[in-house]
Amino acid sequence: MSQLPKIAVVILNWNGRNYLEQFLPVLMQSGYPQMEVVVADNGSADDSIAFLQANYPSVRLIRFDKNHGFARGYNLALQQVESEYYVLLNSDVEVVPGWLEPMLALLEKDKTIAACQPKILSWKDKKTFEYAGAAGGWLDKYGYPFAKGRIFDVTEEDHGQYDQTEPIFWASGAALFIRASVFHEVKGFDEYFFAHQEEIDLCWRIQLSGYQIYSCPASVVYHIGGGTLPRGNSLKTYLNFRNNRIMLSKCFTGVKVCSRLPVKGGCRAFLRRTWSGSTSWGRKNFSVKLCVNQREISCSSPYFCTTKQEYG
């Protein structure tokens, strides 16, 4: 490479002062000369901002006055960051020197690859894959996410069994390396999601736009996990289930969605979509209506992934 591309490592922080203190030192020693570190603070109530200003004046700080969630927080932050590549990095991730170069080389070699993730191992047990992404994500036929090295809550030890650089369906938002141009081309994250499974939805839309998602196990990071919402948290459970159904309704055709929604006894679930105009990746009117156990729940999203149709 005659001129090294710029990489912006962007951490979305919310009350994560302890993680910043723990993991920023090694991140700052990554060794890649064209790396910018950006911390976007999502309305933290702790002393994250004061800590950064006092100890890391070279880190660019973007401040929000409230918690916008993962999806909107990153969308707002990345509108203010100019770079050829973004790395969306959780505050509770430990990197190692040289972690950026393998992912950069992969995307520089093949312009059809829009995003990738490193091998994500557990910080607590560095021989074991970490829940949030492991060695690269997939969906089963019912839309349930799993990953190489992690099925349900069971994670494998890493013995090099997934050390192949290959396509995956989704890359983890804990450490997502992505072309900035593609992120903006597909309009970023769906902000209705707030948090959880927004990176799966993003990767699905990226592939529907003709690009590929890859795993890059030559790069390794270590993730604590659950730094913001711990596993088992009721809000986390709600967001995962809600967002999964919205994602399926967006990115499948109506017939495929209805064949995958769970139906039990007299409960029924149906989808209705209405929008106008030609198919594109822009903002359109989109609604999902679920009727479960006699209770009707409606939500709306400005993003969609299918052709112009209406299902009733």
> What pTM did the predictor assign?
0.79
pLDDT exceeds cutoff 90 at 218:
yes
In the chain the first and final C-alpha atoms are separated, in Å, by 53
CA distances from 16 to 38, 39, 49, 308 (A): 14, 11, 10, 43
Give the pLDDT of residue 192.
Answer: 73
Please indicate whether residue 192 or residue 48 has the higher confidence score (pLDDT).
48
Instruction: CATH number for 7-223: choose from 3.40.50.1370, 3.30.420.40, 3.40.50.150, 3.90.550.10.
Output: 3.90.550.10
Least confident of 45-49, 126-130, 242-246: 242-246
pLDDT exceeds cutoff 90 at 172:
yes
HSE-CB at 141 with a 13 A cutoff on CA atoms is: 2
Handedness of CA 38, 41, 46, 50 (dihedral sign): positive
Please indicate whether residue 300 or residue 10 has the higher confidence score (pLDDT).
10
Residue 25 burial (CB count, 10 A) = 12
pLDDT class of 231 with cuts at 50, 70, 90: low
The residue-averaged pLDDT of 76-83 equals 98
Mean pLDDT computed over every residue of the chain: 81
Show Cβ contacts of residue 182 under 8 Å, excluding neighbours closer than 6 positions. Answer: 114, 115, 206, 209, 211
pLDDT class of 245 with cuts at 50, 70, 90: confident
Nearest alpha carbon to residue 171 among 116, 104, 246, 253: 116
The residue written with tokens 């700052």 in the block is 28
Answer left, alpha or beta for residue 84, where phi above 0 means left and psi between -120 and 50 means alpha: alpha
| pLDDT tens string 33-69 | 999 999 999 999 999 999 999 999 999 999 999 999 8
Give the pLDDT of residue 103.
Answer: 98
Give the pLDDT of residue 56.
Answer: 98
Least confident of 134-138, 221-225, 268-272: 268-272
Give the pLDDT of residue 229.
Answer: 53
pLDDT exceeds cutoff 60 at 93:
yes
Contact 171, 115 (CB under 8 A): yes
Give the pLDDT of residue 243.
Answer: 73
pLDDT class of 2 with cuts at 50, 70, 90: low
Domain locations in the chain? 7-223, 257-312
The residue-averaged pLDDT of 21-43 equals 97
Complete DSSP assignment for 5-66: PPEEEEEEESS-HHHHHHHHHHHHT---TTEEEEEEEES-SSSHHHHHHHH-TTSEEEEESS
pLDDT exceeds cutoff 80 at 285:
no
pLDDT exceeds cutoff 50 at 297:
no
Residue 98 burial (CB count, 10 A) = 13
pLDDT exceeds cutoff 50 at 278:
no
The residue-averaged pLDDT of 119-135 equals 96
Q: What's the distance, CA 26 to chain centroid?
A: 22
Residue 35 burial (CB count, 10 A) = 18
Residue 59 burial (CB count, 10 A) = 18
| pLDDT tens string 250-264 | 777 544 544 444 443
